[in-house]
Amino acid sequence: MTDRPLRLVFAGTPDFAVPCLEACRASGADVVAVYTQPDRPAGRGRKLTASPVKEAAIAAGIAVEQPESFKAEADRDTLAAYAPDLMVVVAYGLILPRKVLAIPRLGCWNVHASLLPRWRGAAPIQRAILAGDTESGVDLMQMEAGLDTGPMLVERRTPISADDTGGSLHDRLSVLGADALAEGLRRVMAGETLVATPQADTGVEYAHKLDKAEALLDFTRPAIELERKVRAFDPWPVAEAEVAGERLRIWSAVAIAGEPGAVPGSLLAASRDGLDIACAEGALRLLAVQRAGGRRIGVVDYLNARPELRKARS
């Protein structure tokens, strides 16, 4: 055991990182500062808004730092002045330069929401669903200069179910990440030196940042691929499609058998069961949609507003 609490600096920004911050506080470590992204405009009024991690830090009475980057020596000096033993980084939003990684005595740890080396990068949760992966997880890794290339310290796994969305998997991995981090902190604070396992050289995939342009469904693609896109893009950026002359946001859909020779994008059936749209392979049954300026509704309510579309599958 160490004769004083571990001095820890936490760096994170979105709500995904908040359970990890709470795990740091619960571990008995001395969380001396929290780093998070500068306040950004948000909402219709574009008002400057604090990140979820900043709000949690303020509520806990922890000092908050919000540098735009660590390029300035003064910002690195500020971090060094906290004399951290360890820096924990969770969805912070900045790539840390080598000079920052070298400041804490024990280096920097990162909680990453994938089973590395698969899905290094910005959007591992959504990319796993889009690819049809059956399993995901979180890795606690020792950070190095490369993008999510560091050796792994603790891992947690979870199956991806057929009805998982980007949101549901996000929430589950957030909790698993906090659990993996708590284990790592507990072992280090008990005097253990964690074994760092290098990542495999094979199976590397990059989870590129989500682009809203990706949200438009292309019915010349297989239905199962579009079903995964609908799930992956819930709650953001939300899939969209042109359906019967109207642009809709698609919140829920399932792949079903199609009709041979049907033109991709054509409406095959419209009933209380759903809106069936022909795809290159199979059909996509839309279950919950959102019209422009409206709210999320089930297909029955949508057809009440557009009764001319009603037709049962023959």
Q: What is the pLDDT of residues 157-211, one digit of tens each?
A: 999 999 999 999 999 999 999 999 999 999 999 999 999 999 999 999 999 999 9
**Domain boundaries defined on the chain:** 7-207, 213-309
pLDDT of residue 44: 79
CATH class name, domain 7-207: alpha beta
Q: What is the pLDDT of residues 123-154, one digit of tens each?
A: 999 999 999 999 999 999 999 999 999 999 99
The CB-side HSE value for 118 (13 A sphere, CA atoms) comes to: 16
- The CATH number of the structural domain formed by 213-309 is 3.10.25.10
Annotated binding site for (6S)-5,6,7,8-tetrahydrofolate: 114-117
Share of the chain above pLDDT 90, in %: 94
pTM equals 0.95
The closest alpha carbon to 55, from 34, 41, 32, 27, belongs to 34
Asked whether residue 265 carries a pLDDT value surpassing 50, the answer given is yes
Contact of 116 with 143, CB cutoff 8 Å: no
Q: What is the pLDDT of residues 78-90, one digit of tens each?
A: 999 999 999 999 9
64-65 and 30-35 strand pairing: parallel
64-65 and 120-121 strand pairing: unpaired
Q: What is the pLDDT of residues 109-118, one digit of tens each?
A: 999 999 999 9
What's the rounded Cα separation, in Å, for the pair 177 and 128? 16
Annotated binding site: 114-117
Q: What is the pLDDT of residues 196-219, one digit of tens each?
A: 999 999 999 999 999 999 999 999
Q: What is the pLDDT of residues 27-45, one digit of tens each?
A: 999 999 999 999 999 887 8
**Torsion angle defined by CA atoms of residues 119, 146, 7 and 77, in that order, rounded to the nearest 10 degrees:** -140
65 phi and psi angles, rounded to 5 deg: -120, 140
Asked whether residue 313 carries a pLDDT value surpassing 70, the answer given is no
pLDDT of residue 2: 46
Tokens of residue 123, six digits: 């959007």
What's the rounded Cα separation, in Å, for the pair 173 and 163? 16
